[in-house]
Amino acid sequence: MRRHPISLVLLVVVAGCSSSPSHDGTSRDAGVPPEADDASVDSPGGPDAGAPSDAASAHGESLDAAGRSVDASAAVDAAGDGDGGPVMYSTHFPATENPISEDGRWIHLGEPWSLVATSGGVAYGTQPGDGAYTDSYAHLSGFPPDQSVTATIHLAAGFSPGGTREVEIHLRWADSASSARGYECNLAYNGGYAEVVRWNGPLGDYTYVSSQGSGGPGAVHDGDVFEAQIAGTTITTWLNGQQLQHVDVASIGGTVWTDGNPGMGFWRGAGASATPGDYGFSSYAATSLP
């Protein structure tokens, strides 16, 4: 995330269940679920604090007694209805939506920021390539503070954006009409960096947790698995099981976000192409940690 500090405030609670900038081939100034045709609940389980999570993987769609697909909200409720079990949600983005909703499961309240859309089984950002810190984002609700996300990368063949492009996993995210806050774990399209950034609330207000421009795996490919989790004050990220970042969010001082939900985001640097779906996620799975 090549930017400068950001933050957001809001939490929507769903029955049964309990920030970001970088850019230009470098960073900004300042998991793959197995096959599933619909948004569904994953089987229980969560990763330990030091390794990627298999528990975030999707294992088929949820069905009702008549064999019909259960909608997203019902699926999540079935996994965490106050019995102390894990809260889980997974999707392969089967619908064409702008903004993404999946039966109301995805939330976006921040008016200055751009929306996330889905088409052709890919979630992607709608932000113009003007370099502003108006990242596209959407988040879930009803998750406890310790959470893990696994997402599959979609990268179009021959992709050459002409500027920086990022996908982002968001952790402990919350928003309102004028604020967005939480932790952004980004990944540049060319593997040049993979940072952790705290959004502080107002537009353009963010703080690097990891060093700016750090963590890059050197290359990113279509089908790669990007994962991030937060446990206590520690965020760890991986690409295909290789650790990219392992940082303490309290180490930079200031506010430590202690609640919020998993989400996703996308950022386009100045001059970057804006072809829908060229760099995004083809699957997304979130789970609470024990």
Query: What's the sign of the alpha-carbon dihedral 134, 202, 261, 230?
Result: positive
pLDDT one-digit tens code per residue, 157-188: 999 999 999 999 999 999 999 999 999 999 99
The ranges assigned to domains in the chain are: 72-288
Write down the pLDDT at residue 83. Answer: 62
pLDDT band at 290 (very low <50, low <70, confident <90, very high): very high
pLDDT one-digit tens code per residue, 231-246: 999 999 999 999 999 9
Residue 40 neighbours by CB distance under 10 Å: 27
pLDDT one-digit tens code per residue, 46-57: 333 344 444 333
pLDDT band at 33 (very low <50, low <70, confident <90, very high): very low
Three-class SS of residue 107?
strand
Whole-structure pTM value: 0.78
Q: What is the token pair recorded at 246? A: 């392992």
Q: What is the token pair recorded at 74? A: 């019902």
pLDDT one-digit tens code per residue, 62-114: 333 333 233 343 345 434 445 679 999 999 999 999 999 999 999 999 999 99
d(CA 108, CA 19): 14
d(CA 289, CA 85): 10
Phi and psi at 173, nearest 5°, equal -90, 140
Which residues sit opposite 268 in a β-bridge?
165
pLDDT band at 18 (very low <50, low <70, confident <90, very high): very low
Q: Report CA-CA distances (Å) from 143 to 58, 163, 228, 238, 269.
A: 17, 34, 15, 21, 31
CATH number of this structure's domain 72-288, picked from the four choices 3.40.50.300, 1.10.3720.10, 2.40.160.60, 2.60.120.560 = 2.60.120.560
Write out the H or E segment, with its range, that includes residue 170. strand 165-175
- Radius of gyration, CA atoms only, the chain: 17
Mean pLDDT over the full length of the chain = 80
